[in-house]
Structure formats: C-alpha cells, structure tokens
A = this chain, B = another copy of it.
Amino acid sequence: MTDQSSHFPIDYSPLFDYFDPFHRISQEAKEAISAICSLSKIPKNKDLQSIGHTCRTIYFVKKGIARIYYYKDGTDITESFAFENSLIARVESLFTGKPSRKGIQVLEDSDFIGISSPLLFDLYDQFPDIERLFRKIFESAYVETVNRIESLQFHSAEERYHALTQESPDFLKRIPLKYIASYLGITQVSLSRIRAQR
C-alpha cells in the first residue's frame, strides 16, 4: 500500500515516547488520542499535504523526512524540515484555520502518524492533560522558532551553514543541497561557494 491512509493496527509507542518528556498523560488519554490517529505511508517526493489546503492534521514522523515548502516568485523555498521522531504541521494554518500557501513534501519513503487537529482540540475539553501536553509541545516549538529568527537575522550564510553541519550532520547526508540552500535563506550557488571554501 502506498500513498494511502490506513486504520490497520498501528504501533503508537514512538509517538507516546515522544510525548512523555513534555507531559505525562493517563492511559485513558493515550487511548483517546490513538482513536483519532491514522497512518500514512508516502513515497519519496510526493506531497503529504498540498499547497492551498487548510491544515487539519498534525503529523508525527515515524520514518523518513519531510519538509514544509512554498513558492516565492516561482522559486521553491523550504521553510523547515522534520526528521524521525518529531512533529510537523503548518502552524500558521493549523492555528488560524486559514488555507496554507505551504505544502508538506516527503524526501524519502516515509511513514507518518496523523492526528486529526479538530478532534484533538475537542479532546482538550475532556482531557485537560492533553491540552497541557500540546501546550508544552507548541511552546517548545515556539522557542525553536524564536531561536531560528536570531540565526536568520544576524548570522551570515556561512555561519548558518556551519552551525547546521554541527547541530545536525544528518541534514547533509539525507537532504538535497538545493533544499538546504533555501532553508538557509540563500541560493544554491552561494551554498556551493561556501562549501568549496575548504
């Protein structure tokens, strides 16, 4: 089966292992979350979510890599990447309910656990611990985003590239450089130049 959602029995343990450090929730709460999840297997280079649709699913990357991208004057720009054991969602659409100009594309054959966001938000009323869990998850994502601004605002492209190679060497091995360039806010040509410097 490819490019399909499934309701076959799914192993949710990686998801709950990911949740645990943020906030512990009851077994009952875990079951409530499981009930609003489904598995998606997406082949390399396909879109998990297409440009123009409103984000109503929060994805957990079980296997593979994905990126959020959009077009600016016809050129493809990568906003962010997500690796195994992390969440990915177009938050500006998730939290506003407006259609997103961004899409999510898969860079390797990947498996996702999709959590329905409208159903999740309904669970918040019933399970305050689920609300607290996701509050903490998004607070943490917010902090990462603030740190990223600092990087874009006043580090040179070269500094940003070298920081990336140190923090996540995996990036360079598994992601095409053309995607890394726009993620760093520069062109492919500039990135090649930086790489050639030593």
Q: What is the oligomeric copy number?
A: 2
Q: Which of B95, B128, B149 contacts A139 (CB 8 A)?
A: B95
Quick check: which of A6-14, A25-33, A57-65, A140-148 contacts chain B, the rest being far away?
A140-148
A135 and B92 alpha carbons, distance in the complex (Å): 15
Total contacting residues, chain A, CB less than 8 A: 30
Tell me the A103-143 residues at the B interface (CB within 8 Å). 124, 128, 131-132, 135, 138-143
> Which A residues are within 8 Å of any B CB, using their own CB?
70, 72, 77, 79, 91-92, 95-96, 124, 128, 131-132, 135, 138-143, 145-150, 152-154, 182, 185
Pick 9 A–B contacts, CB within 8 A, sort by A. Answer: A79-B150, A92-B143, A92-B146, A95-B139, A95-B143, A131-B131, A152-B152, A153-B182, A154-B182
